């Protein structure tokens, strides 16, 4: 446990629903090492998305801390927290959440545009486009760069979302049920993509309700009744990654 990339300690989150309080997280603690592929499984409604949102600073915990590379995420000034969301973590959602008006390449470049002002962008735009093209190639969508999201299949959209999450080379990739909305075979393509990214050194924290998915990870945890339970370390059983873009060939 040397120098973890991400540490969460004692996270609590309660939602108020009318009179009843729903205690979703009741003291969640976890850590992710650099280069690790961590999967958190849990039943639907167990609070996985809530947890991941807090890790990605999209939401705040009622109690507890998230430390990223030694800095407490929720004590950062808001500009630094924006920079954290923008450059240090990448987020992949279950429902892709692409910009419908933008084409694939523009979607991928969006976090880079957010990073720079208009003047600075002018000088970095060539490099950004190269990076975007390269990422699209890595996720097997270089031939779709000019297409709108609605012209793509679900699996392709999720690949675009992965590329977008990676454009600013984040230290940590957070994935919230990236295959939850996809057929199993297509989901497998995404999972193998993530596995290959991890092989290249990308730290990944993924949540899923599907225990089978946990097979891809180095380590898996179970979220149940608001707390984390350790699970076995299935790293050796990881299946061989399928070739990129299998679901395109359907």
Partner 1 sequence: MYKWFLAWRYLNTKLIALFGIASVMFCVAMVLVVLSVMGGFLDTIRSRSRGLHSEIVLEGGTLQGFSYYEEFGAYLAKELPDVVKLHTPVIYTYGIFRVPATTFTKPARVLGIRLKDYVRVNDFQKGLYYDRYYPGTTHLGPQALPVAGVSLFGDVRLPEDLERANDLWREGEMDPEAIASFDEQPFEKAPYPYVTPVMPSERVYSAHVGEPTYKEPLHDGVIVGCDLIHYRRSDGHFDRQIARGADVALTLMPLNPSGNPTGEPPVRLPLRYSDDSHTGIFEIDSLCVYVDFDMLQHRLAMDPQPLVSGGFTRLRTNQLLIGLWEGVDLNDACDRIRVAWRDFYASLGPEVSEADRRALGFVEVYTWEDLQRPFISAVEKEKVLVTLLFAMISSVAIVLVGCIFYMIVEKKTREIGILKAIGASGRGVTSLFIAYAGAVGVFGAVLGLILGSAFVWNINAIQDYLASWNPSLRVWSPDVYSFDRIPEIVKSADAFWVGSVAIVSSMVGSLIPAIIAGRVWPVQALRYE
Ligand X SMILES: Nc1ncnc2c1ncn2[C@@H]1O[C@H](COP(=O)(O)OP(=O)(O)O)[C@@H](O)[C@H]1O
Residues of the shown chain interacting with partner 1 in the complex, contacts defined by CB under 8 A: 49, 53, 56, 58-59, 78-79, 82-87, 91, 93, 95, 97-102, 106, 110-111, 113-118, 120-121, 164, 181
Shortest separation between residue 49's beta carbon and Mg ion, angstroms: 3
Q: What share of the chain is helix, strand, coil (3-state, %, to 5)?
A: 40, 25, 35
Q: What single string gives the DSSP state of each residue in 4-51?
A: -SEEEEEEEEEEEETTEEEEEEEEEEEEE-TT-EEEEE--TTSSHHHH
Burial 85-105 (b: 16+ CB within 10 A, else e): bebbbbbbbbebebeeeebbb
For ligand X, give the closer residue by CB, 24 or 194: 24
Q: Does 158 interact with Mg ion (rule: CB under 5 A)?
A: no
For partner 1, give the closer residue by CB, 111 or 189: 111
**Helix residue ranges per DSSP H, 97-244:** 104-115, 118-138, 154-166, 184-199
Q: Does 46 interact with Mg ion (rule: CB under 5 A)?
A: no
Residue 74 interacts, among partner 1, ligand X, Mg ion, none and using kind-specific CB cut-offs from 5 to 8 Å, with: none
Q: Does 49 interact with Mg ion (rule: CB under 5 A)?
A: yes
The footprint of ligand X (CB under 6 A) covers: 15, 17, 22, 24, 42, 44-50
**Distances from the Cα of 76 to the Cα of 68, 82, 84, 85, 168, angstroms:** 11, 9, 9, 12, 20
Shortest separation between residue 103's beta carbon and ligand X, angstroms: 30
Shortest separation between residue 212's beta carbon and Mg ion, angstroms: 17
Residue 113 interacts, among Mg ion, partner 1, ligand X, none and using kind-specific CB cut-offs from 5 to 8 Å, with: partner 1
Q: Applying CB under 5 A, which residues contact Mg ion?
A: 49
């Amino acid at each position: 446990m040397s120098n973890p990339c991400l540490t969460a300690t004692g996270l609590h989150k309660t939602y108020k629903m009318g009179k009843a309080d729903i205690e979703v997280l009741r003291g969640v603690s976890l850590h992710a090492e650099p280069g690790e592929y961590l999967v958190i499984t849990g039943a639907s409604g167990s609070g996985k998305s809530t947890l991941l949102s807090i890790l990605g600073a999209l939401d705040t915990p009622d109690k507890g801390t998230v430390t990223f590379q030694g800095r407490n995420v929720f004590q950062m000034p808001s500009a630094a927290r924006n920079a954290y969301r923008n450059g240090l973590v990448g987020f992949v959602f279950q429902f892709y959440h692409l910009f419908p008006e933008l084409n694939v390449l523009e979607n991928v470049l969006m976090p880079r545009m957010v990073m720079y002002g208009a003047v600075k962008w002018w000088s970095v735009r060539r490099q950004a486009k190269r990076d975007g093209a390269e990422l699209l190639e890595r996720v097997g969508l270089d031939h779709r760069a000019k297409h709108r999201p609605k012209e793509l299949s679900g699996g392709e959209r999720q690949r675009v979302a992965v590329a977008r999450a990676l454009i600013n080379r984040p230290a940590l990739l957070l994935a919230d049920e990236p295959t939850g909305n996809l057929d199993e075979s297509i989901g497998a393509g995404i999972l193998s993509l993530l596995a290959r990214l991890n092989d290249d050194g990308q730290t990944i924290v993924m949540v899923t309700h599907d225990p089978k998915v946990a097979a891809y990870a180095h380590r898996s945890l179970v979220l149940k009744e608001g707390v984390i339970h350790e699970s076995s370390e299935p790293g050796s059983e990881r299946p061989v990654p399928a070739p990129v873009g299998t679901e395109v060939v359907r």
